[in-house]
Structure 1
């Protein structure tokens, strides 16, 4: 993967000053070379998010962009909190990377539109709740639990909800189980009734 990325960057006119196999190596390379951009994989050995935090502290002038397969919300938001200026998925065309990174240096956010929408949904979360908000049941749910239950109530399947919120179907089911436990009910229909009061 690193060689494919390197070829894409170099063919787009970028100069690659180093490659690292681990988070610690990436931090050392950035400190030594002080590049304009550090491109990190979240799940690189040693944890790419941890590397992003260390690079942000040690070389704040280096823009950090995550390149990953993960569409999980936790990875996305943890990366942004760690100082990442972009979050790119590995299915992006390697030849477009150079232009994307130049955009980051010009102050643009590097992120697929679907993930931008995810951030907006998270930011607007409580204001978009559609269940009744005055009940005791309503106050027990997290923003993410509200989103999951609202989509399910509108007739979307577990797989649809997972795709829409960039979660795994298992994570959706975990959220539903948490809601049922919090509301002390045994099925989704009962939860919907409580939340609509």
Structure 2
């Protein structure tokens, strides 16, 4: 599994309706994208859910590196780049995916935590702890953990049926659409 995300931060007075319309009219194009496990169309809107910014920040979980490469060099990403400028794309190696009790629901919210591992931290233990902390959380659609081995940074994504529970850590997003053509191909956590 590969995780990737790009964040397009928009001006404070940007009409986020443009992003909503873009997703409403184009998101179906990734509903059958080869190699894609899921794509969460994530947004943050200034003044909503504590967000200080307007941002379009889709997050992808790929079950095929070839699918990810084809997307990044294909017309879908090319169209986004033509409209917003080519963003930097963050990338992590997937370490595990977990379906939660609300996996059959359509998620409305997401949280993302980025955590730099201490030099003496065991990456396997960090991955296991990150997934175990949410395994049966009410309202959890799914959770993924991935690692950037260059920065030794842990990405933890959780998709929620409604709002994240009180005390949920991380950056909060609204999910405008979820494409999930290869959801069943995403791997379970790697055993330590």
Structure (1 or 2) with the larger CA radius of gyration: 1
With the length of structure 2 as denominator, give the TM-score of the two structures. Answer: 0.23
With the length of structure 1 as denominator, give the TM-score of the two structures. Answer: 0.22
Which protein is richer in helix relative to its size? 1
Give the number of the structure with larger relative contact order, counting CA–CA contacts within 8 Å between residues 6 or more apart: 2
